[in-house]
Chain A
Amino acid sequence: MREAEIPLKFVSSNRRVREDRRFVAGQGHYVADVALEGLLHVAVMPSQHPAARIVSIDASEALKMPGVHYVLTGEELAKAADPLMNGLDTPHVKRYPLAVGQVRYAGEWVVAVVAESRAQAEDGAEKVRIVYEPLPYVIDSEEALDPSSIPVHPEHGSNILLDRTFVWGDVDKHFADSPCHLSFRVTWGRNSTVPIETFGVAAKWDPWREILDVWASIQMPKYSDQIARALRIPLNNVRVHQDVDVGGSYGVKRGIKQTVIVSHLARRLGRPVRLIEDRLDNMRAGDAHGPDRIFDVEVAFDNDGIVRSMKMRALDNAGAYAGRAPFQLGKPIGAIVGPYKIQSVKYRAISVTSNKAAQEAVRGFGQAPTNYAIETAIDKVAAALGLDRIEIRKRNFIRSDEFPYLIPSGTRYDSGDYHTVVAKVMAHADYNGLKRERDELRAQGLCAGIGIAACLEPSGGNSSFEPLLNDANKTTTFMESCRINVDGLGFVTVTIHTTSSGQGHETLAATVVGEVLEIDPDQIRVVRPDTLNSLPSNSPVGSRMAIMLGGAAFHAAKKLKAKIVRLAAHQFGCAENDVIYRGGSTSHPGSNRKLTWAEHVNIAHRNFHLLPEGMEPGLEATHVLQVPTANKLPENGRVQMYPCHSFEFHLVLVAFDPEIGKPKIRRYVIGHDCGTVINPHIVKGMTLGGIAHGIGASLLEEFVYDSEGQMLTQSFMDYLLPSSHEVPQVEIVHHCTPSPFTVFGQKGSGESGYLGSPAAISGAINDAVAPYGISFAKLPIRIAAISDAIAAAKTLKEKAPS
């Protein structure tokens, strides 16, 4: 077959996102919409104490309540199910869906009450009498790290889950040789993605077929594997329905403990059972919390502002259980130097347990906090030398002719053109004009500041951080699959093998298959079979699906096209190379013969006698895609993390009244390069949403615990989300540097905006308050903190002897 040089027709074009219609019309099909006959409902009873021994549980009154069927305790469940999977090799940090013997955070689930309705289950839960004996607890990360602290899991011996130091390159020499050093501490507050739909799951057990059906609002790699392992049943007894719409996730829809609870109950009670978290369940214990991290950073640089080396200590508070939280310290190793040519790095990653809710994955998997620390370092170097903050970034950037670029920690960056993106943004925003605007605002008596962030979004997620941080883990693949079937009437159906949480995978798969087969994507059906009918796949995490599902769909379509060409060559009696494929039809210029799409279909489905020898009937192709560039285990603490690296450059102008301290974002410009864009609307949506998410992380959102271990921000009265008042108009400046490692040159964009906006907004606030000689070293920077700090600085100035 001749590869015709034709421009992309559907990829990158302005096409509607097919999923949006049903979501906008309110016709999504979520887990709460799954109607099951005889469904029972669960309400959970949480612990009120941050740490306590469970002395007794008396369910007798609860069981007398109307509609109540059953009260499940942790003791019973622990007999029937194994502890949930730990990421690290920490066998004594046992996590059960319901607390066994001891509670380890305020809000931890202790019993599950099953009733005919959720309301009856909640009324029943109120009647369960649990007697606790309070135990000592630890909340603060540094305290938990202290060897004398009380271990959250006494059997584990300490609160340290992970303490690894990596040295990549000659850090000592670079520090000794550099004339300038500086060090600082910044803290990233615990926040979340707060999906509109809380987690929900329904399960049904059919004893005659021995099959467990599960419907869930899920975004969890190896979800069905984990259910089967916990319940000790064969994996082919678990059928997860993946055609359930997920009302938001960005990492937090992990749901394994909830699923084990309802699955056990469904088997125990012989009726389908469902658990839909309410907002309080979700905020306190619903896998909602993200990284909670203190960074101590030291950089060595020369008088021109060239950063030679960096030492970073990241102390992360995992909460009461291990889960995947420690891995969120591992993924940023793949972009530990950001877009800069820092030659050596010493990185100490520490994860500790505490009596807070267990941390789970949140958008970026630890990268946004790390980017915030790196960008703060660059800002501080600029301030130390009196250099412009953009100029210093340009001096340190990797140049476009240096890719693929190997960073000290072992990852090869695929491609990028950081200088061009920055130049485009500076031209678009009129950087000098923006500085003048800031100065004019200051002259009016306002605080005004410019924030800058240049950040990477590693994408195409694999799980290289697992073997890097856990020697017992030898995983080197994190595959994704696609199958295409052309039916007997010539219609095309594409299957994808995971759930989606709003990333537009149906649009993605149809666009790619349509592009390769040169047929209208709108005519392509995309379906999600259940897990028993699925090919090996993982999950739409790690900003990976444009690369992984897009890649799998591309290769499957190529295989299908090759089969059509071979079938046609056989009819034409010519070599495959002499067949021209165009728009679903084939032709042979030499003999002037042609075959239409319908004729290919007819031959493949009905005329076995016309098929080339050895060809299977039908028109079907599958592809299982390995993550590009992932091919070996880590060596000497170095590993190729994700294959692709999108780039984003943020330029923000913030102003506020110094007395009130409420920041208003007056201008927000982002330069964005995620390689070839498959659907511009999806990328735009991700970027705008990511920036809104970052505004929350930098100014508003935090799960705050008081000194008594109680979470103070459990509802939207106290846990503040950015609204249309806080989110500004965002101007997006596009650039495209294709990745050499992907089929169309695409990179990921699922975390775009979020990975740099907290750093940029923090930089803008700190620029705004710089005239007062103060700065903020902890996110979120809340309104009260700003006005209090300015008032204190003014008082200090007035008192100071002149």
Chain B
Amino acid sequence: MKLDIGGNETIPTSVDALWVALNDPAVLTRCVPGCKNMTEIAPDNYKVDMQLRVAAVGGSFEGEIQLSDKRAPKSCTIRVSGAGTLGHGNGTARFDIEPDGEGTSRLVYKGTGEIGGLVAGVGQRILASVSKHLIGRFFIALRKEFESPLGGATG
């Protein structure tokens, strides 16, 4: 099934700091819901291991993330693809970061995805809201990265 995502979020940090954070596998591992591990396999290419639960099913998901069309520190295209017990999926999204007042940035994102397999069958009715929820969790975690000066959001 097809999935559209899009929105914008305010993050309490500078454009440059946000750009650095979004390119740091350690930060992403902490912020991406269910992400167990993220390793760089080539420049701007990462391998991720995730553990997720949607509706009645849960399972592991192994995927790749590629960053392209990077225009530091403003915008970048992110491509995700992967498969696992939950199903398979791929998607592309474009991020734009712009300043939004003193020490604050606005992150605008828009993308599309396609999801198949078990998760599409079992969770199709709630998949749109689940994806919104997961994105929401990502941004909550990302904001915490900057709210806590010691980077203590890992706990």
Q: List 13 A-B contacts (CB under 8 A).
A: A46-B118, A48-B118, A125-B85, A126-B84, A284-B121, A706-B124, A712-B121, A712-B124, A714-B121, A715-B55, A715-B56, A718-B124, A718-B125
> How many residue-residue contacts, CB under 8 A, span A and B?
56
Partner of B116, one of A45, A129, A708, A713: A708
Contacts of B118 in A (CB 8 A): 46, 48, 280, 714
Q: What residues of chain B lie closer than 8 Å to A106, measured between beta carbons?
A: 116-117, 121
- Smallest beta-carbon distance B135→chain A, Å: 23
Given known A48-B88, A106-B121, A125-B85, contact A710–B116 (CB-CB < 8 A): yes
Q: Which of A681-716 contact B (CB under 8 A)?
A: 706, 708, 710-715
Chain B contacts with A in 62-77, Cβ cutoff 8 A = 62
- B5 is an interface residue with CB less than 8 A from chain A: no
State whether A126 touches B85 (Cβ < 8 A): yes
By Cβ-Cβ distance, the 7 closest A-B pairs, closest first, are A48-B117, A714-B121, A710-B120, A126-B85, A711-B121, A126-B60, A48-B88
CB distance from A388 to the nearest CB of B (A): 43
Task: Tell me, rounded to whole Å, the shortest Cβ–Cβ distance linking B14 to chain A.
Answer: 41
Q: How far is the CA of A715 from the CA of B124 in the complex (A)?
A: 11
Residues of chain B lying within 8 A (CB to CB) of residue A710:
1, 116-117, 120-121
Residues of A at the B interface (CB closer than 8 Å) are 45-46, 48-49, 106, 125-127, 129, 280, 284, 706, 708, 710-715, 717-718
* Contact A717–B125 (Cβ < 8 Å): yes
Closest B-chain residue to A130, C-beta based? B83
Closest to A128 in B: B85
Interface pair A708/B1, CB less than 8 Å apart: yes
CB distance from A702 to the nearest CB of B (A): 13
Asked if B17 is an interface residue, CB under 8 A from chain A, the answer is: no
Q: Is B136 an interface residue (CB 8 A)?
A: no
Q: A715 touching B122 by the CB < 8 A rule? A: yes
Which residues of A sit under 8 angstroms from B121, Cβ to Cβ? 106, 284, 710-714
B3 near A: Cβ within 8 Å? no
**Chain B residues, Cβ within 8 Å of A712:** 120-121, 124
Any A CB within 8 A of the CB of B87: yes
- Report if B6 contacts A (CB, 8 A): no
**Interface residues of chain A: helix, strand, loop or mixed (majority):** loop
Q: Does B59 contact A (CB under 8 A)?
A: yes
Residues of B within 8 A of A715 (CB): 55-56, 122
CB neighbours (8 Å) of A711 from chain B are 121
Which of B56, B83, B124, B125 is A48 in contact with, Cβ under 8 Å? B83
Q: Which residues of A contact B57 (CB under 8 A)?
A: 280
- Bound complex: CA of A49 vs CA of B114, how far in Å? 13
CB-CB under 8 A from A708, the residues of chain B are 1, 114, 116, 120
- Whole-angstrom CA separation of A714 from B123 in the bound complex: 9
- Bound state CA distance, A706 and B87, in angstroms? 15
Q: Which residue of A lies closest to B117 (CB)?
A: A48
CA distance A284 to B56 in the complex (A): 15
Q: A49-B117, A127-B60, A710-B120 are in contact. List 11 more A-B contacts (CB 8 A).
A: A48-B118, A49-B116, A125-B85, A280-B122, A706-B1, A708-B114, A712-B120, A712-B124, A713-B121, A714-B121, A715-B122
Q: Give the interface size class of chain B.
A: 20 to 34
B binding-site residues for A, Cβ under 8 Å: 1, 55-57, 59-60, 62, 83-85, 87-88, 114, 116-118, 120-122, 124-125
A708 vs B114: C-alpha distance in the bound complex, in angstroms?
A: 10
Q: Give complex CA distance A545, B12 in Å.
A: 75
Q: How far is the CB of B43 from chain A (nearest CB, A)?
A: 24
Distance in Å from the Cβ of A567 to the closest Cβ of chain B?
Answer: 65
**Nearest neighbor of A49 in chain B, beta-carbon distance:** B116
Contacts of B88 in A (CB 8 A): 48-49
Of all chain A residues, the one with the shortest Cβ separation from B55 is A717
Nearest residue (CB) in A for B114 is A708
Residues of B within 8 A of A714 (CB): 118, 121-122
List the A residue with the shortest CB-CB distance to B124: A712
B91 to chain A: closest CB distance in Å? 15
A126 and B116 contacting across the interface, CB-CB below 8 Å: no
Whether B122 lies near A48 (C-beta < 8 A) is no
- Nearest CB on A from B53, distance (A): 13
Residue among A45, A48, A126, A284 with the highest chain B CB neighbour number at 10 A? A48
Nearest chain-B residue to A47 (Cβ)?
Answer: B117
Which residues from B are CB-within-8-Å of A280?
56-57, 118, 122
A residues in contact with B114, CB < 8 Å: 708
Q: Residue among B55, B87, B118, B121 with the most chain A CB within 10 A?
A: B121
Q: Across the interface, which residues of A come within 8 angstroms of B120, CB to CB?
A: 706, 708, 710, 712
> Which residues of A sit under 8 angstroms from B116, Cβ to Cβ?
48-49, 106, 708, 710
Q: How far is the CB of A420 from chain B (nearest CB, A)?
A: 49
A284 to B125, CA, bound (A): 18
Complex CA distance for A46 and B86, rounded to whole angstroms: 10
**Residues from chain B with Cβ under 8 Å of A49 in the complex:** 88, 116-117
Measured CB to CB, the nearest residue on chain B to A283 is: B121
Shortest beta-carbon distance from A107 to chain B in Å:
8
CB distance from A373 to the nearest CB of B (A): 29
Min CB distance, A224 to chain B, in Å? Answer: 34
- Hey, which chain B residues are within 8 Å of A46, CB to CB? 118
Residues of B within 8 A of A713 (CB): 121
Give the shortest distance, in Å, between B42 (CB) and chain A (any CB): 19
- Closest residue of chain A to B56, judged by CB? A715
User: In the complex, are the beta carbons of A717 and B1 less than 8 A apart?
Assistant: no
> What is the minimal beta-carbon distance from A705 to any residue of chain B, in angstroms?
9
A364 CA to B103 CA in the complex, in Å?
71
Given A48-B116, A710-B117, A712-B124, the answer on whether A126 and B59 have CB atoms closer than 8 Å is: yes
Q: How far is the CA of A78 from the CA of B61 in the complex (A)?
A: 29
Q: Once the chains are docked, how many angstroms separate the CA of A713 from the CA of B83? A: 21
Residues of A near B117 (CB, < 8 A) are: 48-49, 106, 710
A566–chain B nearest beta-carbon distance, Å: 65
Q: In the bound complex, how far is the Cα of B117 from the Cα of A106, in angstroms? A: 7
Residue of B nearest to A125 (CB): B85
Which of B56, B60, B85, B87 has the most A CB atoms < 10 Å from its CB?
Answer: B85
A127's nearest neighbour on chain B, judged by CB, is B60
A713 to B121, CA, bound (A): 6
Contacts of B60 in A (CB 8 A): 126-127
Nearest CB of A to B54, in Å: 12
In whole angstroms, how far apart are the Cα atoms of A708 and B115 in the complex?
A: 10
- Cα-based distance from A718 to B114 in the complex (angstroms): 21
- Using Cβ atoms and an 8 Å threshold, which residues of chain B touch A129? 62
Cβ distance B73 to chain A, nearest Cβ, rounded Å: 37
Taken together as a complex, chains A and B put the C-alpha atoms of A48 and B61 apart, in Å, by 13
Tell me the smallest distance from the CB of B148 to a CB of chain A, in Å.
33
B25 to chain A, nearest CB (A): 22
Nearest chain B CB to A56 CB, angstrom units: 13
C-alpha gap A126/B56 in the complex (Å): 16
Docked pose: A708 CA to B55 CA in angstroms: 20
Q: In the complex, how many angstroms separate the beta carbon of B82 from the nearest chain A beta carbon?
A: 11
Measured between C-beta atoms, what is the minimum distance from B83 to chain A in Å?
Answer: 7
| Nearest residue, chain A, Cβ from B86 | A48
* A48:B87 contact, CB within 8 angstroms: yes
Roughly how many angstroms separate A280 CA and B84 CA in the complex, as a whole number? 16
Contacts of A45 in B (CB 8 A): 85
Alpha-carbon gap, A127 to B85, bound state (A): 9
**A350 vs chain B, min Cβ distance (A):** 28
CA distance in complex: A135, B111 (Å): 26
In the complex, how many angstroms separate the beta carbon of A708 from the nearest chain B beta carbon? Answer: 6
Alpha-carbon distance A401/B59, docked complex (angstroms): 65
Q: How far is the CA of A45 from the CA of B87 in the complex (A)?
A: 11
